[in-house]
Structure 1
Amino acid sequence: MTFFVSTYTCESTFSTMNTIKRKQRNRVTNAHLESLTRIETTNYKYNMKKVKDMHACFCSSQY
């Protein structure tokens, strides 16, 4: 039974990776592809608004 689960996980991960590569075309580096694949295949539910707010751009008005 473990063999089936690991095969499924492997095929699912490659499918996700191929979807990312199709959308990003040739703009994605191997490191970026690895990071995006990890994000897409994790079970962790993240709050994207909170992440976005944490990394908000603070622009200076001196320009």
Structure 2
Amino acid sequence: MAAATTASQPVSKSIGKRGVDHLRVTDCPATPSLPSGNMNAPAMALGWLAADIIGAGDG
């Protein structure tokens, strides 16, 4: 997800896909940097974060 709000990043801080209404992206390539190890924990953390954002009505 984008650390700063610029048009060059495809995903906003509220996990919305820029330029497409009502689409959320919760995929590891949407992160600004990828860890060098196992992707399971970051993928789960991203899913939990997305659930919190959507549940709070921010997304």
TM-score by length of 1: 0.28
> Who wins on radius of gyration, i.e. which is larger?
1
Higher share in helix: 1
